[in-house]
Structures are given as C-alpha cells and as structure tokens.
Amino acid sequence: MQDGRLLTGEVEADESYFGARKPSKGCPYVKKDKKDVVLGMIERGGKLRLVPVKDARMEIIGSALEEHISPQGHTIYTDESASYAIYLQRHFDAEHKTINHSRTHGMGDTHTNTVENAFSLLKRGVYGTFHGVSIKHLGRYCHEFAYRCNRRGEQLQMFDATLKSILNEKALPAWPSASLSGLGRIFAMPLSSYAHDNRVGGSARIPSPQRVSTSSSPF
C-alpha cells in the first residue's frame, strides 16, 4: 500500500509509541521499551508514511529514513533526538532543523505538527475505532491509514479502486456454517473462562477450550 516514490522537499519525521494504555498493577506508567514504535514521515503538502520499527535506536530509525526519504531533500524537520541528528548529518544532504518539544511545539516553520496530527488520527483509530489491534498486524493498520490519508481528496476514486481490487482477487474459501449448539457454547461461557490476548491498546478476550453446557443458551 505504501507508494514507491521517495519523500522530498520539506519532510517531517517523528516516532510514536503504541502499547497498553493502562499500566499493570503496581506500575505508575508503561515504559517505552515495552511499547511498539511507529516511525512517521510526511512530505509537507504530499504523502505520509507510517512504518513500524523494532525500536528507536539510530541504526533502526536511520535505515527507515533512507528507505523513504530522498537524500537530496530540501529540509528535514525532527525533534532533538540524537538518533536523527547524527544519522541525518552522516547520510543526508538535506538541511536538518530541530524543535525542542519540552519548550515549544513549533517556531515558525520549524515543527513536526503535521506528522503528529497523523499519529493522533492513527491512535484514534487504534484505541477508539478498533479498540486495540494485534501487534502482529500493526503494520497493516499503519499502511491502511497512510493509504487513506494520502487519498483523502480522492474518496470516489479510492472506493472504485478498492472494489476493482476485491473483484480481481481470488475468493476466500467459505467457512462451514456454525451449528446452533456451537453458538450456544460460546455465548454461555462465563467471563472467568476467557483469556487475555496480547493486543495494542486493548484487552481482547478469547474463549477457552473449556466445554460448557448449552442449556443456558440464549437461543
């Protein structure tokens, strides 16, 4: 889903952290090293890229920057993290401008507010719409949000392209119809028999394999 063209011109880059919103018992907050990192890059007036990365170390962030930003770009805006400062100085010809977020959100054109707005929309979808997503598929959600953001002025064309893609794909095999007794067992399970799933921003529950009588089925 990510467009192949490298970002150029004025580009903002920043990282954001995704994980459990509520800390575990006894912990005042969730540490950053326990969360998943998403690197955001946006060309002002152009395309957005949202890329999950392993962590925020310089070599990890740097390789993602090289993959998506043209080294001949005009200006790159980031925060004052050393990961950006050192890597951009070594590998990019573009001018590098930084903003100290502990003091201000921006000074004239020097800011990362555009990419932070994109993170805000992504998190609103993860926590508010999907109520948490699987860490395994976080990249797919990032690609979807970037795809939709980059085509926000082409809603009808995007809808037509989606339908064409669906029609051109091979149909998925049909699932066997669930029996009434099977549905009854699922709905009759007590909450205590549910297990937590490891999800970003949510606490999905999966039925345990424990057999439950269907006598209390709502059907």
Determine, yes or no, domain membership for 190: no
Q: Which residues contact 67 (CB under 8 A, 6 or more apart)?
A: 51
pLDDT at 199: 55
Q: CA nearest 40: which of 101, 90, 96, 114?
A: 114
Determine, yes or no, domain membership for 143: yes
Determine, yes or no, domain membership for 142: yes
**Domain assignment of residue 77, given as a range:** 10-154
Q: Which residues contact 7 (CB under 8 A, 6 or more apart)?
A: 41, 42, 43, 46, 47, 49, 68, 69, 70, 73
pLDDT at 3: 65
Number of domains in the chain: 1
pLDDT at 162: 82
Check which CATH number belongs to the domain holding 77 and give it.
Answer: 3.30.420.10
Determine, yes or no, domain membership for 172: no
Determine, yes or no, domain membership for 216: no
Determine, yes or no, domain membership for 195: no
Asked if residues 201 and 133 have their Cβ atoms less than 8 Å apart, the reply is yes
Determine, yes or no, domain membership for 25: yes
pLDDT at 28: 57
Please list the ranges in the chain whose pLDDT falls under 50: 1, 180, 183, 186, 191-197, 203-219
Residue 212 to residue 184: CA distance in whole angstroms: 9
pLDDT at 190: 54
Determine, yes or no, domain membership for 213: no
